[in-house]
């Protein structure tokens, strides 16, 4: 029976190295030179590139990609275990070549790109020679593709893209933008004439595409295939977000427990107060439920496909936002006034929770998806009574023992007593 919660010693050694490397190398870089890992500044690259090379030397670069595409081919389950570490540190995903939104875009290129497209964009993205963004949601339609208006019109050997996108994360610093149109997915260099990046929001950009012309070869995948590509991309992106969220809530939990053992209130450690104990206990259970859901989903993907795990991925998506919100809020309260400042990670975690509930599709949509898919495995019960209606089930069960009941008065009395007990309510 293949049922195991352990990690093989060889991979555990890698995890131990990653934890030590992130704590002693990545975090100090973050604290002293924030943003250096993804900066184009030569001095910043001189600081970050040696760390990235160490990751390559350990065979841990681009963890999410198969070997033939330059990754280690670990699969999603091992990636989940690694992301439980990387997600604690802002720059770790960049240092390990696994940062969003590049990861999802690389997966689309790997799955649907032509050899020419892979040569032009995939391999430079893998080597962080360029960076990318994903332009999907729209001001009037949110994340519902049925309401999108951005479209591309074929004009000879070019496509002309017109429309407006909202919340294109990292669009202003990207070299290429993957633009979802009503009739296809297109790769658009950011400096193409007609690409207008608005002044706000500063990170999740508002972009207008004003008759933007790109070569015909910039269509990724089939024409009218944008929805299929988007689901492929967002499915992987959602589970990767969930993996990193496990790291975030574990960090909040560590801070919560440390603080509970470090401060006193009313003559006792605050850990000894019942409401603090309840916060710790609830957080412990919620974190581990989320972690097991994420690991199970990653295992399912490895043994089938992202498409086959779509219900689990959707459940991970809204569960991670809820657990992040609840655990970070409890930790913030246990930390006290310090938790409301930007002097610890807690305020940023709590502030990020609403964004996590909206990004990649609002939680309500994913809950509907989960319910719809789960209900496909059920049928309505026939007749008036539900399947588990005890009197009806007992009547059927008595037929199994009818001959015994008829031949043995003692057994008949026993069975009749069960009927009377149910009747009494």
Residues 207 and 237 in one domain: no
**What is the model's pLDDT at position 327?**
98
Q: Evaluate whether 332 touches 255 at the Cβ level (below 8 Å).
A: no
Residues 268 and 357 in one domain: yes
Mean pLDDT of the residues in the chain: 94
Q: How far is CA 343 from the centre of its chain?
A: 26
In terms of pLDDT, which residue wins out, 398 or 141? 398
Q: Assess if residue 359 is contained within a domain.
A: yes
**pLDDT category of residue 70 using cuts at 50, 70 and 90:** confident
Q: d(Cα 184, Cα 134) in Å, to the nearest integer?
A: 13
Residues 6 or more apart whose CB falls under 8 angstroms from that of 311 comprise 369, 370, 373, 374
Segment 28-43, tens digit of pLDDT: 999 999 999 999 999 9
Of 164, 189, 220, the residue that ends a domain is: 220
> Token pair for residue 247?
């790291």
Sign of the torsion formed by the C-alpha atoms of 390, 395, 396 and 401: positive
Residues 242 and 357 in one domain: yes
> Token pair for residue 183?
């009739």
Of 58, 74, 99, the residue that ends a domain is: 99
> Token pair for residue 331?
């930790």
* The pLDDT of residue 1 is above 70: no
Phi/psi for 338 (5° steps) reads: -60, -35
Q: d(Cα 326, Cα 32) in Å, to the nearest integer?
A: 30
Q: Assess if residue 381 is contained within a domain.
A: no
Segment 248-274, tens digit of pLDDT: 999 999 999 999 999 999 999 999 999
Residues 155 and 210 in one domain: yes
DSSP 224: T
CATH of the domain at 174: 2.40.110.10
Q: Assess if residue 113 is contained within a domain.
A: no
Residues 171 and 51 in one domain: no
Across 8-22, 364-378, 409-423, least confident range = 409-423
Which residues in 350-381 are b (16+ Cβ under 10 Å) and which e? bebbeebbebbbbbebbeebbeeeeeeeeeee
User: Looking up tokens 């689990």, which residue turns up?
Assistant: 312
Q: Assess if residue 111 is contained within a domain.
A: no
Task: State whether residue 135 is helix, strand or coil.
Answer: strand
Residues 44 and 88 in one domain: yes
Number of domains the chain contains: 4
Q: Evaluate whether 245 touches 323 at the Cβ level (below 8 Å).
A: yes
List, as one string, the DSSP characters of 286-298: HHHHHHHHHHHHH
Q: Assess if residue 109 is contained within a domain.
A: no
Q: Assess if residue 49 is contained within a domain.
A: yes
CATH of the domain at 84: 1.10.540.10
E-only strand ranges, 282-401? none
Residues 189 and 169 in one domain: yes
User: Looking up tokens 């890698």, which residue turns up?
Assistant: 14
Residues 245 and 173 in one domain: no
pTM of the model: 0.92
Q: Evaluate whether 72 touches 59 at the Cβ level (below 8 Å).
A: yes
Q: Assess if residue 327 is contained within a domain.
A: yes
**pLDDT category of residue 422 using cuts at 50, 70 and 90:** confident
3-class DSSP string for 36-85? HHHCCCHHHHHHHHHHHHHHHHCCCCCCCCCHHHCCCCCCHHHHHHHHHH
Q: d(Cα 114, Cα 122) in Å, to the nearest integer?
A: 10
CATH of the domain at 342: 1.20.140.10
How many residues can be counted in the chain?
425
Task: State whether residue 184 is helix, strand or coil.
Answer: strand
Residues 239 and 359 in one domain: yes
Q: Which residues partner with 160 through β-bridges?
A: 153, 213
Residues 239 and 162 in one domain: no
Residues 214 and 243 in one domain: no
Q: Inter-axis angle of helices 226-260 and 76-86, to 10 degrees?
A: 50
Domain of residue 82 covers 9-99
Q: Assess if residue 225 is contained within a domain.
A: no
Residues 201 and 251 in one domain: no
Stretch 311-337: mean pLDDT, rounded? 97
> Token pair for residue 398?
């008595």
Question: At 112, which helix (H) or strand (E)?
Answer: helix 102-112
Listed residue (140, 208, 146) closest to 177, CA to CA = 208
Radius of gyration of the chain (CA): 27
Q: Evaluate whether 105 touches 85 at the Cβ level (below 8 Å).
A: no
Of 166, 192, 220, the residue that ends a domain is: 220
**What is the model's pLDDT at position 2?**
67
DSSP 304: S
């Amino acid at each position: 029976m293949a049922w195991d919660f352990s990690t093989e010693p060889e991979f555990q050694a890698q995890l131990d190295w990653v934890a030590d490397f992130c704590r002693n190398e990545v975090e100090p870089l973050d604290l002293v030179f924030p943003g250096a890992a993804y900066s184009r500044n030569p001095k910043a690259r001189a600081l970050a590139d040696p760390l990235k090379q160490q990751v390559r030397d350990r065979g841990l670069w681009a963890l999410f990609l198969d070997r033939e595409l330059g990754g280690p081919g670990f699969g999603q389950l091992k990636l989940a275990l690694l992301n439980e570490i990387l997600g604690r540190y802002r720059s770790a995903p960049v240092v390990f070549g696994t940062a969003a939104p590049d990861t999802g875009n690389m997966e689309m290129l790997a799955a649907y790109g032509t050899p020419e497209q892979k040569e032009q964009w995939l391999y430079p993205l893998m080597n962080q020679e360029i960076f990318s963004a994903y332009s999907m949601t729209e001001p009037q339609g949110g994340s519902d593709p049925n309401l999108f208006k951005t479209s591309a019109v074929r004009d000879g050997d070019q496509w002309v893209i017109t429309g407006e996108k909202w919340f294109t994360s990292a669009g202003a610093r990207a070299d290429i933008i993957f633009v979802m149109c009503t009739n296809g997915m297109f790769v658009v260099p950011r400096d193409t004439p007609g690409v207008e990046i608005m002044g706000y929001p500063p990170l999740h950009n508002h972009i207008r595409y004003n008759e933007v012309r790109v070569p015909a070869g910039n269509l990724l995948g089939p024409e009218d295939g944008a929805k299929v590509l988007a689901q492929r991309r967002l499915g992987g992106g959602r589970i990767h977000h969930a993996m990193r969220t496990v790291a975030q809530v574990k960090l909040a939990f560590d801070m919560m427990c440390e603080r509970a053992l470090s401060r006193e209130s009313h003559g006792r450690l605050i850990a000894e107060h019942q409401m603090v104990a309840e916060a710790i206990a609830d957080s412990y259970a919620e974190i581990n439920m989320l972690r097991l859901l994420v690991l199970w989903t990653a295992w399912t993907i490895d043994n089938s496909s992202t498409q086959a795990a779509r219900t689990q991925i959707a459940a991970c998506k809204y569960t991670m936002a809820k657990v992040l919100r609840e655990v970070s809020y409890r930790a913030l309260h246990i930390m006290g006034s310090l938790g409301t400042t930007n002097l610890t990670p807690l305020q940023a975690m709590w502030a990020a929770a609403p964004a996590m509930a909206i990004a990649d599709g609002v939680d309500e949509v994913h809950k509907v998806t989960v319910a719809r898919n789960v209900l496909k495995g059920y049928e309505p019960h026939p007749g008036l009574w539900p399947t588990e209606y005890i009197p009806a089930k007992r009547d059927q069960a008595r037929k199994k023992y009818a001959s015994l009941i008829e031949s043995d008065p003692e057994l008949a009395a026993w069975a009749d007593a069960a009927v009377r007990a149910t009747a009494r309510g």
